[in-house]
């Protein structure tokens, strides 16, 4: 029996917001040929995305994940669909839970309507650092109880509508002053701070279908490098202590926080306990690195 292709754990990007039609078509064909597990879609009109996802599934002839960042509704990515207020605004609504439930259902129904079955949302980071360059209004707020409660409502509504939710960015990106797109930020926090950061993730661990691990360094958790490649964080904390049984996805591997060699980082992420490698810079190079790693490491081969 042949071993499954390592490409099955890779999600590659479709940048409809940047690429011309020819480049999009090439990436689709190359991804399907390589055997990727799916695509992360950025941009495009609702009509275009719907046609593309239908074509992708027909050409692949297999189940695929079609994912997108949809924190503010399907209109955040796809023209013609509904762009919703950010989570911070929903958290200030007079009927907060109803607002969050309605927003998540709207997002999920519209996403499913264009073929997207995995939403990279909600953000469960706490908005506790005024100088944080990337969290801010993407968070439901600074109170871990509020973030836990609204995150759970969002996740339940999304998944009841047939779209996989993804709690991010584990173990917490809210205390950083750096942007993991351009560097590896360090979370310098006390044990009490970290307990607060983890509370929203802990509260949804039995319910959410997937979690995304951040490219942040948390030395106090045994992660001097990126949490994405830390077995102490992914397996020891998320799997064992929080008892999470869903899919563990990396943040985008093209981000600088993943390191300069994201193909090697993908191998390390798999060894740490991640299940899905999201948006590598070089799909073929990443797949080959995973294949090579599996040949030399029986534990990695078993993970694959």
Q: Which residues are catalytic?
A: 251
Enter the tokens of residue 20.
């011309």
- For residue 177, say if its preceding peptide bond is cis, omega within 30 degrees of 0: no
**Gyration radius of the chain's alpha carbons:** 18
* Buried/exposed 71-106: b ≥16 CB within 10 Å, e otherwise: bbbbbbbbeebeebebbbebbeeeebeebbbebbbb
Q: How far apart are alpha carbons 27 and 72 in whole angstroms? A: 26
Locus of tokens 């040949």:
295
Q: Which of 280, 223, 229, 218 lies closest to 255 in space, CA to CA?
A: 280
Q: How far apart are alpha carbons 234 and 265 in whole angstroms? A: 14
Locus of tokens 């990126």:
226
Residue pair 137/89 in contact by the 8 Å Cβ criterion: yes
Q: How far apart are alpha carbons 84 and 61 in whole angstroms? A: 34
Q: Which of 294, 241, 243, 239 lies closest to 270 in space, CA to CA?
A: 294
In the chain, where does DSSP find H-type helix?
21-34, 46-60, 87-90, 96-113, 144-160, 191-204, 231, 262-272, 283-296, 298-303
């Amino acid at each position: 029996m042949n071993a499954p292709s390592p490409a099955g754990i890779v999600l590659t990007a479709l940048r409809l917001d940047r690429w011309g039609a020819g480049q999009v078509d090439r990436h689709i064909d190359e991804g399907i040929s390589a055997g990727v597990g799916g695509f992360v879609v950025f941009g495009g009109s609702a009509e275009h995305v719907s046609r593309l996802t239908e074509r992708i599934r027909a050409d692949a002839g297999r189940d695929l994940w079609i994912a997108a960042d949809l924190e503010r509704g399907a209109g955040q990515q796809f023209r013609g669909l509904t762009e919703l207020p950010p989570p911070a605004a929903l958290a200030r609504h007079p009927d907060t839970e109803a607002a969050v439930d309605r927003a998540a259902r709207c997002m999920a129904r519209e996403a499913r309507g264009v073929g997207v079955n995995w939403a990279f949302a909600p953000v469960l980071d706490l908005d506790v650092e005024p100088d944080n360059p990337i969290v801010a209004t993407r968070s439901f707020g600074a109170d871990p109880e509020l973030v836990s409660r609204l995150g759970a409502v969002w996740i339940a509504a999304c998944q009841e509508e047939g779209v996989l939710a993804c709690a991010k960015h584990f173990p917490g990106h809210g205390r950083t002053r750096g942007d993991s797109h351009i560097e590896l930020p360090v979370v310098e926090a006390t044990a009490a701070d970290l307990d607060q950061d983890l509370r929203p993730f802990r509260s949804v661990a039995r319910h959410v279908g997937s979690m995304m691990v951040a490219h942040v360094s948390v030395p106090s958790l045994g992660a001097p490098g990126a949490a994405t490649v830390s077995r102490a964080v992914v397996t020891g904390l998320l799997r064992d202590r929080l008892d999470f049984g869903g899919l563990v996805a990396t943040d985008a591997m093209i981000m600088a926080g993943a390191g300069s060699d994201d193909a090697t980082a993908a191998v390390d992420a798999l060894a740490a306990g991640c299940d899905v490698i999201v948006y590598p810079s070089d799909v073929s190079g990443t797949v080959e690195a995973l294949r090579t790693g599996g040949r030399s490491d029986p534990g990695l081969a078993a993970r694959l």
